[in-house]
Structure 1
């Protein structure tokens, strides 16, 4: 192709490192009050333009944001916006006075209050952002302090921020280490900063759980690359020494975490959440159960809190609670103490003043919720004792609240008391597990910071090592297979050397099959995927004999709301784009074979076809996605009769007219007949029902009403599965294949041997039919995306030759196992041979 860059350069361009959107500033312009580690981070952040500062509690995030704001105002000539939790504004005012930035801090509740001509540091709270009162048009930069609203992509606030704040070039996040519950928070930060598309990151780094929609696990072999990518746009720092500086004054005191269990055993009749009488109290992990437990145990938890505080009646305390009823009970119980509460219905000014007063030890006990004062406030000089009057599953709120006192400059040991009932042990166990993961995440990132510092160029150079180099090949019988990039393999193959191409191409960037940049799934969207295919497809055409068939297995792709910018799921016509791609490179489309899939299984994987949602609004629901085998042909050398240069000849005995009719004709069913009655269905096991349905559906004229009645009868008898389609439609034509055994793959054998399953194998039934129809014995079948060498396996079994390439070393090794097994089966003498 014209203007096509060298293939290696294309692969190196895939290296995912955050681009620079800022400018290089003179370090001497940074306020000398800033400490060395703070100066490094300020310089790095402005140079990057869109960066995250994940700095531990007490390392100066407030100061760094204010200095970044000052420098961005001077660069852009526009005011700067800092969004923050309620009650934190006083911290920024104090540090702004210390820095003497020259710009006033102004609190706003609406962007109409911003004077375009006045250069100032405007601050607001997330409540105003949540209500949509703040728009970004007039600001030169924005920083999110303790950006908790970005943790959940599904929230209205997050969607607002991701959409509207991207108009600002200079964007920053400053918070403590992200929570490790999952990685969505980090991806949302990246999306907000504009360093990667969230959908691309999900595909690139995370393994999808095909049994549970939305459940993602970081690929084990992608952990290093993931954290290197994160460290190209985010700095994790626990101490100044992480960046090579002295830790004097930054040693944390001892943390004493006290687990305080209290008994809440119910006397008399015990009921569950449905109100039914049970033997034991329900202690499951559901939010309903935990909420009920908290409601029932307020009195004993508040009493235990009082006892703890009463042991040190002269000390200052923070009492963290979650319910208004708890606040009321605490205020009544602690009347002899100087306790003041900060709660939601107070004005922002009132909240701010109370929190500042507590910071300066103007009263003894602060009672509030982690959601209100658990982020941003610095109470290390005022307090070193706190009680969680109750616990819940919200780890981020929990850890943030602890660090209001447990932070640098704290002079005393910090005592944290977590009160829970005997029915809440699972809650505590979950919190502690999240805490363990939190420490693990911090360790991962700190090690990278210590290794690379703030040098993205060094990270990029190191990541280039992931270009595939360890090439291997093997010959097993009539199959030649390669552990290599398929582009490199096909570039070396001779012209007109294969009789058929049969493969399942990667479905764009939907999956990644290996940890190398050579992986075709390792691309940012379909456009980049087909750019890589541009290096392969011309070689597929060149190596295929004139007139021969390329059978390409594909499936259209689901595009979720966060990917398509809507509130509903759409379909990406990936099969159509595949057709356009192959036609562009000189292939001719000659047919499409449809392979139906199980709509119930698909919904369990994607949650996009749910019956409940269908009942709420049918207009938002699509249909199940079939798979397709696209049939392309390379034009023959001679066009007078359209025969291939080497025709695929079959005898009429071998390929009968009835077989031809089914292969060549699209078949539609209509009208109807009766199947089994409700009584018969109720009395039969599901295997018998399934098999009888298939026979009935093949031999009788189809009736939608009858099909629906059978499903309805099964539902009445509680036999309609929620895991798979119990009574699927069947077809007698090879234009639509409904009888494919979806477990009939080498992948199933691999799972039986307790090996990792290949993500998207092609069924052996499909491979056999295609090889039988389009090749003769002795022909060469090429599979450029070999996987477990399923195509080569069936080619050998059917007395053909095979050539195949696979990038993943593990798949290659497993594929060799299968090829050796079929080669042994072919060559082993039969009992009849031995008798002779």
Structure 2
């Protein structure tokens, strides 16, 4: 189905590759000393204006940076600045002399000349002694060292360069374990805001804040997007040039395990002794293990050095205690360390690089980035292991580089209890190699041509419509804008949907996805194509029930430093009103503030103790009720009313008759006054007939406590202090959960739903079948109540964002007809499965049916 021209143009405008803001140069303009692959990257970087050079160790990043900045200054004038780690100054001066480029080392802006190229260390910028805005062009060499300054510095450092016209980054291939580092580079280059990039490509762990993984269906797009602003170069042949002289030397890695006193396991909190020492898991245990095994590891180091006394070696370590032990055991080792005078530190690094002494002891965060030790050293020893893979691989590549003349030997010493750390390090190394191969494949296929990348990404635009129809239901796999364009006028009796929460999630790799938008403005711009179609297709007087939730904005993304709330429900409210819907009210659905904090870290008890002014409150969910204006406005009844029959009444002689105020109504007949009061006041209890998760079964007692407390809080006069005291007494007994709110009071507000069962979603069944869960499922309780109140049996209920098919499924179960549209092909297929099961008379989510099925299932199926 072809998209309408204006909507098609809107979707095409979503294809975002890094814009070119530089200038064109001819190959003859590049210094003739540069090799073919280096010349190609230089021309690409200058044309882009703001680019990253991710080239493997030894491919010539130093010369490329110098030449890129020289060309920028020749074209635009002014001053250029290279910011580099300590210890690499000599590399830049050596290369600058070969290229004939004047280079001045500066510690502050006062030392910088009015024009020409300058070199400084990261500390000068971090400490405010040098303002990047005073330069026309800037390049960050090995910017990953910023992490050693701490995350706060890393996040605040990059925005300092926003006013610089030409911005570049040069480092070796980033680690796949450092996605955020790549995203920060994109923010530094002005390609995409950091928060926007994280939202677009990464899924959040709903149980733990900060735990991000790349969406499986977004991997190709993510790396192609990266390739539009970063040159991932593994070898010259990736760009069609000869690899002669660019073969990495052979690498031999030897793992040395020293014994741990496994019997010295210590004691538990209650004083009971531990029989065997467990593997070191967690920072505290790993640090203790490093201290306890230090003598054994130093002894192994001494043995390695004594077996080969003539070789020069790097001795890598992480702890100060390790440095002192190394210096005591190896008196001729020269150490560099953090509190050392900067000039003294750099002099030692340069001297070792020039072969002046045999052993250099250093932490990877100090000398592991940028330094080139290959001329006189091809061996290194790690006297311990850690989870910091990027520091580890950088340290190795100080000597394993292109043009290294000798095979490289790496000895890694660890204890028995460090085996888990070793496995983690090896797994990260494997992922690193996998990503490097993937990026090499992309650059071999597309080269440095932006147009080629755009053509690939455009292929994810559009969708081939598919439709499945059953008895009482209809489901389409399509873009909901296109699907709704073909709905008949005044054909829908009710709309129930949970709209995407702006760009908070992306559900598919398609540009048709509403989550694939830049911000709220962009999201509602796409909604502008959908909402008028819903209004047109809805019957006059009927309702659209829109489920929404406010979004938490993280301080690191907004620059405020504190989490704030985006009032997304209010923006949604005004959007629908602007398109002609009448606002009828809002239903509040209470959420668990403790669980919310686990997901966002914005309401923490510990953080509240530090400064409660940072604290907000828990964010509820909402159902916004909108109505299409009826044709007859005199009494405002819908053109086709949703009428309710009153209950039958019981006469004195036991006969049922039509409703009579003077007779008692018979329960279970008609729509009672009691049901109306519950519906109108929005305090509707859940039925509870559902599958229970293993997590819920494990927490049965606390959940029972929560239900009892909520019920009691509604029966009795509420006492805030008594509520707090009860929680404190539970905490004394270690019975107050830290992962969910157990003492959750009921609400006497008529517009607050406090009894929604959070786990009653189709994700329960998805998880039990091992299928992909919906990232933002809609609770069945919410859907059931809305369908029952605002529609009649046999009427058509529609959801333009059907997801796993919750709305059409619950409509079918309630005796209505269901229709939906879903863009994600996996969700669409699962929705069809659920609907077919319901059509055949099976209540797919019934707790009691599930128990029957489990009893008849094979053990393998039950698993």
Assess same fold via TM > 0.5: yes
Check 1:493–1:430 CA distance in 2 against 1; reply closer, same or farther (3 A cut). same
In the other structure, the counterpart of 2:653 is none
In the other structure, the counterpart of 1:833 is none
Check 1:149–1:371 CA distance in 2 against 1; reply closer, same or farther (3 A cut). closer
In the other structure, the counterpart of 2:813 is 797
Check 1:308–1:716 CA distance in 2 against 1; reply closer, same or farther (3 A cut). closer
Query: Counterparts of 1:149 and 1:194 in 2: how far apart (Å)?
Result: 20
Comparing 421-430 with 447-456, greater Cα deviation is found at 421-430
Check 1:220–1:268 CA distance in 2 against 1; reply closer, same or farther (3 A cut). closer
Check 1:626–1:347 CA distance in 2 against 1; reply closer, same or farther (3 A cut). same
In the other structure, the counterpart of 2:611 is 617
In the other structure, the counterpart of 1:518 is 512
Whether 2:151 is the aligned partner of 1:155: answer yes
User: Can you list the C-alpha shifts for 1:163-189, whole angstroms capped at 9, x where unaligned?
Assistant: 211121211111111122241111111
Does the residue aligned with 2:516 lie in a helix, a strand or coil? coil
1:316 to 305, 308, 312: 312
In the other structure, the counterpart of 1:107 is 105
1:597 to 568, 579, 591: 591
Whether contact under 8 Å (2:837, 2:843) holds in the other structure is no
Whether 2:470 is the aligned partner of 1:476: answer yes
In the other structure, the counterpart of 1:129 is 125
- Alpha-carbon shift at residue 202 of structure 1 (Å): 1.6
Comparing 18-27 with 537-546, greater Cα deviation is found at 18-27
User: Can you list the C-alpha shifts for 1:58-103, whole angstroms capped at 9, x where unaligned?
Assistant: 10000000001101111221111111110100000000000012xx
User: Can you list the C-alpha shifts for 1:249-273, whole angstroms capped at 9, x where unaligned?
Assistant: 0011211111122224278784689
In the other structure, the counterpart of 2:345 is 351
1:743 to 745, 755, 759: 759
Check 1:250–1:632 CA distance in 2 against 1; reply closer, same or farther (3 A cut). same
User: Can you list the C-alpha shifts for 1:74-133, whole angstroms capped at 9, x where unaligned?
Assistant: 1221111111110100000000000012xx222222223324xx2121111122233232
Whether 2:24 is the aligned partner of 1:47: answer no
Residue pairs, 1:692-707, within 5 angstroms: 692-707=708-723
1:463 to 457, 466, 476: 457
- Alpha-carbon shift at residue 633 of structure 1 (Å): 1.1
Query: Counterparts of 1:357 and 1:375 in 2: how far apart (Å)?
Result: 17
Query: Counterparts of 2:272 and 2:318 in 1: how far apart (Å)?
Result: 28
Whether contact under 8 Å (1:317, 1:384) holds in the other structure is yes
Comparing 510-519 with 269-278, greater Cα deviation is found at 269-278
Whether contact under 8 Å (1:17, 1:232) holds in the other structure is yes
Query: Counterparts of 1:414 and 1:328 in 2: how far apart (Å)?
Result: 27
Does the residue aligned with 2:162 lie in a helix, a strand or coil? helix
In the other structure, the counterpart of 1:374 is 368
Does the residue aligned with 1:301 lie in a helix, a strand or coil? helix
Structure 1, unpaired ranges of 5+: 668-683, 829-836
In the other structure, the counterpart of 1:559 is 553
Whether 2:163 is the aligned partner of 1:167: answer yes
Residue pairs, 1:43-122, within 5 angstroms: 43-101=43-101, 104-115=102-113, 118-122=114-118
In the other structure, the counterpart of 2:181 is 185
Whether contact under 8 Å (1:151, 1:188) holds in the other structure is no
Query: Counterparts of 1:185 and 1:215 in 2: how far apart (Å)?
Result: 14
Alignment coverage as a number of residue pairs:
803
Does the residue aligned with 2:539 lie in a helix, a strand or coil? strand
Does the residue aligned with 1:474 lie in a helix, a strand or coil? strand
In the other structure, the counterpart of 2:290 is 294
In the other structure, the counterpart of 2:859 is none
Whether contact under 8 Å (2:500, 2:515) holds in the other structure is yes
Whether contact under 8 Å (2:265, 2:278) holds in the other structure is no
Whether contact under 8 Å (1:560, 1:570) holds in the other structure is yes
Query: Counterparts of 2:671 and 2:748 in 1: how far apart (Å)?
Result: 17
Whether contact under 8 Å (1:153, 1:188) holds in the other structure is no
Query: Counterparts of 1:344 and 1:717 in 2: how far apart (Å)?
Result: 46
- Alpha-carbon shift at residue 345 of structure 1 (Å): 3.5
Does the residue aligned with 1:802 lie in a helix, a strand or coil? strand
Query: Counterparts of 2:265 and 2:711 in 1: how far apart (Å)?
Result: 55
- Alpha-carbon shift at residue 449 of structure 1 (Å): 0.7
2:576 to 567, 572, 582: 582
Query: Counterparts of 1:7 and 1:715 in 2: how far apart (Å)?
Result: 56
User: Can you list the C-alpha shifts for 1:319-365, whole angstroms capped at 9, x where unaligned?
Assistant: 22233443333334334x5x433333433333333322222222222
Check 1:585–1:56 CA distance in 2 against 1; reply closer, same or farther (3 A cut). same
User: Can you list the C-alpha shifts for 1:725-767, whole angstroms capped at 9, x where unaligned?
Assistant: 2132224676211112222222222222222211222222111
Whether contact under 8 Å (1:132, 1:160) holds in the other structure is no
Whether contact under 8 Å (1:82, 1:124) holds in the other structure is yes
- Alpha-carbon shift at residue 688 of structure 1 (Å): 4.6
In the other structure, the counterpart of 1:626 is 620
Check 1:267–1:732 CA distance in 2 against 1; reply closer, same or farther (3 A cut). closer
- Alpha-carbon shift at residue 718 of structure 1 (Å): 2.6
Structure 2, unpaired ranges of 5+: 648-669, 684-699, 845-863
Whether contact under 8 Å (2:506, 2:515) holds in the other structure is yes
Query: Counterparts of 1:696 and 1:121 in 2: how far apart (Å)?
Result: 74
Query: Counterparts of 2:263 and 2:824 in 1: how far apart (Å)?
Result: 61
Query: Counterparts of 1:145 and 1:269 in 2: how far apart (Å)?
Result: 45
Does the residue aligned with 2:493 lie in a helix, a strand or coil? strand
Does the residue aligned with 2:840 lie in a helix, a strand or coil? helix
Whether 2:11 is the aligned partner of 1:17: answer no
Does the residue aligned with 2:542 lie in a helix, a strand or coil? strand
In the other structure, the counterpart of 2:138 is 142
Whether contact under 8 Å (1:381, 1:409) holds in the other structure is no
Does the residue aligned with 2:743 lie in a helix, a strand or coil? coil
Whether contact under 8 Å (2:267, 2:273) holds in the other structure is yes
Whether contact under 8 Å (2:125, 2:132) holds in the other structure is no
- Alpha-carbon shift at residue 666 of structure 1 (Å): 8.4
Residue pairs, 1:194-593, within 5 angstroms: 194-265=190-261, 270=266, 277-335=273-331, 337=332, 339-593=333-587
User: Can you list the C-alpha shifts for 1:701-735, whole angstroms capped at 9, x where unaligned?
Assistant: 43333433433333333322222221322246762
Query: Counterparts of 1:275 and 1:172 in 2: how far apart (Å)?
Result: 57
- Alpha-carbon shift at residue 144 of structure 1 (Å): 0.8
Query: Counterparts of 1:28 and 1:827 in 2: how far apart (Å)?
Result: 74
Whether 2:829 is the aligned partner of 1:813: answer yes
- Alpha-carbon shift at residue 154 of structure 1 (Å): 6.5
**What root-mean-square deviation, in Å, do the aligned CA atoms of Structure 1 and Structure 2 show?**
2.4
Check 1:345–1:595 CA distance in 2 against 1; reply closer, same or farther (3 A cut). closer
In the other structure, the counterpart of 2:848 is none
Query: Counterparts of 1:707 and 1:652 in 2: how far apart (Å)?
Result: 41
Whether contact under 8 Å (2:679, 2:789) holds in the other structure is no
Whether contact under 8 Å (1:149, 1:157) holds in the other structure is no
Whether contact under 8 Å (1:797, 1:826) holds in the other structure is no
Check 1:712–1:41 CA distance in 2 against 1; reply closer, same or farther (3 A cut). same
Check 1:37–1:645 CA distance in 2 against 1; reply closer, same or farther (3 A cut). same
User: Can you list the C-alpha shifts for 1:617-671, whole angstroms capped at 9, x where unaligned?
Assistant: 211111111111101111122322222222222223333334434444589xxxx
Whether contact under 8 Å (1:662, 1:735) holds in the other structure is no
Does the residue aligned with 2:541 lie in a helix, a strand or coil? strand
Query: Counterparts of 1:692 and 1:367 in 2: how far apart (Å)?
Result: 63
Query: Counterparts of 1:502 and 1:153 in 2: how far apart (Å)?
Result: 50
Does the residue aligned with 1:466 lie in a helix, a strand or coil? coil
Does the residue aligned with 2:94 lie in a helix, a strand or coil? helix
Query: Counterparts of 1:269 and 1:666 in 2: how far apart (Å)?
Result: 57
Check 1:307–1:632 CA distance in 2 against 1; reply closer, same or farther (3 A cut). same
Whether contact under 8 Å (1:384, 1:415) holds in the other structure is yes
1:660 to 661, 676, 682: 676
Whether contact under 8 Å (2:709, 2:745) holds in the other structure is no
Check 1:283–1:480 CA distance in 2 against 1; reply closer, same or farther (3 A cut). closer
- Alpha-carbon shift at residue 489 of structure 1 (Å): 0.6
Whether 2:745 is the aligned partner of 1:729: answer yes
- Alpha-carbon shift at residue 149 of structure 1 (Å): 4.0
In the other structure, the counterpart of 1:759 is 775
User: Can you list the C-alpha shifts for 1:590-643, whole angstroms capped at 9, x where unaligned?
Assistant: 110111111121112111111121222211111111111101111122322222
